[in-house]
């Protein structure tokens, strides 16, 4: 799969307890990205954070069952990211979505012919 040199980084911040049709929302987002043949998606789980409500979410030993922060990251061409966002909008509840321009230097490990 080729990825354009100029792309966008999509970050979706949510909680690990957020759901979409009974499944974890982060899982539904990654599966949708794969279905839409996006370059890749990564889910990052944070040990601590807070959002709009200012309620602290932490993985401290006495609070292991708390709703920890999760970030889904996708790097892709801007038009594909916009199409993805339109497709997942019905799944989204609260959360934060950010976009920033990035320049892709390497994607994959293909070697040039003859190397």
What are the pLDDT digits (tens) for 42-94?
A: 999 988 777 776 667 666 655 555 688 999 999 999 999 999 999 999 999 88
Residue 73 domain boundaries: 6-103
CATH number of the domain bearing residue 70: 3.30.70.120
C-alpha 7 chain-centroid distance: 15
Using the Cα atoms of residue 49, residue 53, residue 56 and residue 57 in order, give the sign of their dihedral: negative
Whether residue 109 lies inside any domain: the answer is no
Residue 115 domain-assigned?
Answer: no
Average pLDDT in the 100-115 region? 79
Q: What is the separation, in whole angstroms, between the first and last Cα of the chain?
A: 20
- Domain count within the chain: 1
pTM of the shown model: 0.83
User: Is residue 68 a contact partner of residue 32, using CB atoms and an 8 Å limit?
Assistant: no
**What is the distance between the alpha carbons of residues 11 and 42, in angstroms, rounded to a whole number?**
10
- Tokens encoding 113: 């012919």
Strand partners, 47: none
Percentage of the chain modeled with pLDDT above 70 = 79
Q: What Å distances lie between residue 74 and 21, 37, 69, 89, CA to CA?
A: 22, 12, 17, 16
pLDDT value of position 19: 94
């Amino acid at each position: 799969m080729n990825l354009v040199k100029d792309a966008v980084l999509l970050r979706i911040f949510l909680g690990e307890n957020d759901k979409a049709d009974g499944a974890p929302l982060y899982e539904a987002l990654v599966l949708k990205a794969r279905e839409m043949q996006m370059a890749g998606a990564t889910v990052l789980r944070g040990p601590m954070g807070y959002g709009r409500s200012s309620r602290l979410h932490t993985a401290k030993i006495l609070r292991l069952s708390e709703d920890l922060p999760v970030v889904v990251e996708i790097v892709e061409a801007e038009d594909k990211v916009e199409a993805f966002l339109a497709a997942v909008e019905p799944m989204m509840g609260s959360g934060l979505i950010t976009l920033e321009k990035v320049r892709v230097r390497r994607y994959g490990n293909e070697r040039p012919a003859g190397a």
